[in-house]
């Protein structure tokens, strides 16, 4: 969540042209499906002639079904994603797209563009398209609740991915505080190394304190726990006797805003030595800002993000100011969520949260990763 990543325009144009060609040849098929209420929630029951037309939700694109299961009837799944300007969600979508092609799934991706109201309209679109299931990664965890209920009343289960919308049929996501805690531990261990090799003075301000900036994102309530975890992990792990002071805390979900937060923080507090961030997207923006402040070097500055995006992994491998991240394998999560969808369709709602696996990434284990 990084240098910012978008879908390539040419790819989107190609998809649109292909969709139009299909519609021109075969006619518009969308209104030919049986009513959703008459369809069991185990698998899609329409015949190939009755399946929903290929198309896009607002701001989205459709991935055609195919792969080894293409002899069976395809599922149609709609995904309303928080923001495709966030590289983390781009990675999730890429994992979904690859899995959809292999698993005979028609995937419709709709970008909410960080606007909670768009989730509502996109869910309504999915209901009208009679999709088999909906996945949501919400901008706001409360705003889509009524729309989720409408989908369920139409016989369409809704799975929350990454953050939970209350009332959804399953939640596949992070243990938020632990996720942040692991990032904070990376920063704490870096400070301990500075203590051990006698270079802790490199990171102290003129009062002998360790100045820390926390990049948060409080508009998503669960991510508040993540930011709190960052601070707890840092404080619990650092074993030295220097005082840690939080000189600036501000919201930034992406690289552009991360850059602005760092610029503001460094202008007012040029002796900051540690930045702990709620994702790699914001942390990569912080890194770009620090590059413009020449007094900040790999010897006196520690930047930690979360998500293990490729850009972050590359910087860790180069022994830069970017000291670590936490890997939750977003691309794999994008594929794994389809297993949860099938489970819910076959067996009904899952009450307990299904928690992501997580692992720290630092210079000690960066060799385990293929760096592009």
Question: Region 309-327: what's the mean pLDDT?
Answer: 97
In degrees, rounded to 5, the angle at the alpha carbon of residue 50 between the alpha carbons of residues 48 and 53 is 90
**What pairs with residue 172 in β-bridges?**
161, 354
32-58 pLDDT tens trace: 333 333 323 322 233 323 333 333 444
pLDDT band at 308 (very low <50, low <70, confident <90, very high): very high
Report how far residue 361's alpha carbon sits from residue 224's, in angstroms, rounded to the nearest whole number: 22
- How many whole angstroms separate alpha carbon 105 and alpha carbon 241? 56
Phi, psi for residue 163 in degrees, rounded to 5: -125, 150
Q: How many CA atoms lie within 13 Å of 68's alpha carbon, on the beta-carbon side? A: 2
- Is the pTM higher than 0.85? The answer reads no
Phi, psi of 250 (to 5 degrees): -155, 160
**54 within 8 A of 111, measured Cβ to Cβ:** no
| pLDDT at position 53 | 32
- pLDDT tens, position by position, 12-22: 333 333 333 33
Structure-derived torsion over alpha carbons of residues 274, 278, 282, 288, reported in degrees to the nearest 10: 20
DSSP state of 294: T
Mean pLDDT for 319-337 is 94
Nearest C-alpha neighbor of 234 from the set 264, 203, 202: 203
Angstrom distance (rounded) from CA 49 to CA 322 = 53
Of 72-81, 187-196, 225-234, minimum mean pLDDT range: 72-81
**Structural domain spans, the chain:** 9-174+330-357, 176-327
Phi, psi of 311 (to 5 degrees): -65, -40
Residues 269-285 pLDDT 10s: 999 999 999 999 999 99
- pLDDT number for residue 11: 37
Q: Which H helix or E strand runs over 182?
A: helix 176-196
In this predicted model, what pLDDT tens digit does every residue of 196-254 receive, in sequence order? 999 999 999 999 999 999 999 999 888 999 999 999 999 999 999 999 999 999 999 99
Burial of 187 (0-12, 13-18, 19+ CB in 10 A): buried
| Average pLDDT estimate for 116-141 | 96
Q: Are 179 and 229 in contact (CB under 8 A)?
A: yes
State residue 24's pLDDT score. Answer: 37
Q: State the Cα–Cα distance between residues 119 and 311, nearest whole angstrom.
A: 29
For residue 158, what pLDDT is reported? Answer: 98
If you average pLDDT over residues 319-324, what whole number do you get?
98
Helix, strand, coil abundance in the chain, percent, nearest 5? 45, 20, 40
Two domains, one topology: 9-174+330-357 and 176-327: yes
What is the C-alpha separation between 172 and 339, in angstroms, rounded? 11
Tokens of residue 122, six digits: 């996109």
Backbone Cα Rg of the chain: 22
Fold of the domain built from segment(s) 176-327? Rossmann fold (3.40.50)
Closest CA relative to residue 126, chosen from 46, 58, 43, 74: 58
Report pLDDT digits (tens) over 164-177.
999 999 999 989 99
CATH for the stretch 9-174+330-357: 3.40.50.2300
Mean pLDDT of the chain: 85
């Amino acid at each position: 969540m990084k240098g910012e990543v978008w879908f390539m325009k040419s790819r989107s144009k190609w998809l649109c042209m292909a969709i139009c060609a299909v519609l021109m040849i075969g006619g518009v098929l969308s209104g030919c499906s049986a009513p959703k209420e008459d369809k069991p929630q185990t698998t899609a029951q329409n015949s190939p002639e009755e399946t929903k037309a290929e198309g896009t939700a607002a701001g989205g694109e459709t991935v055609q079904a195919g792969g080894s299961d293409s002899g069976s009837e395809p599922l149609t799944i709609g995904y309303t994603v928080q923001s495709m300007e966030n590289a983390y969600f781009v990675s999730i979508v890429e994992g979904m797209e690859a899995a959809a092609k292999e698993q005979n799934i028609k995937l419709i991706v709709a970008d909410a563009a960080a606007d909670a109201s768009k989730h509502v309209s996109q869910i309504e679109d999915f209901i009208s398209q009679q999709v088999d299931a909906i996945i949501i990664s919400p901008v706001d965890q409360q705003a889509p609740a009524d729309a989720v209920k409408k989908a369920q009343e139409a016989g369409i289960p809704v799975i929350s991915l990454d953050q939970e919308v209350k009332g959804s049929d399953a939640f596949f996501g992070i243990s938020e505080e632990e996720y942040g805690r692991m990032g904070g531990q990376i920063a704490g261990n870096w400070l301990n190394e500075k203590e051990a090799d006698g270079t802790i003075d490199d990171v102290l301000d003129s009062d002998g304190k360790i100045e820390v900036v926390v990049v948060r994102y409080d508009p998503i309530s669960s991510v508040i726990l993540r930011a709190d975890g960052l601070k707890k992990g840092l404080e619990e792990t650092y074993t030295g006797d220097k005082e840690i002071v939080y000189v600036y805390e501000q919201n930034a979900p992406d690289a552009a805003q991360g850059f602005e937060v760092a610029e503001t923080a460094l202008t007012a507090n040029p002796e900051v030595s540690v930045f702990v961030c709620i994702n790699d997207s914001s942390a990569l923006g912080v890194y770009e800002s620090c590059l413009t402040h020449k007094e900040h070097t790999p010897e006196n500055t520690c930047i930690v993000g979360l998500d293990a995006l490729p850009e972050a992994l590359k910087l860790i491998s180069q022994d830069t100011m970017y000291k670590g991240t936490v890997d939750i394998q977003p691309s794999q999560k994008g594929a794994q969520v389809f297993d949860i969808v099938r489970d819910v369709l076959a067996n009904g709602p899952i009450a307990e949260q299904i928690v992501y696996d997580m692992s720290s990434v630092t210079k000690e284990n960066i060799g385990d990763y293929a760096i592009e």
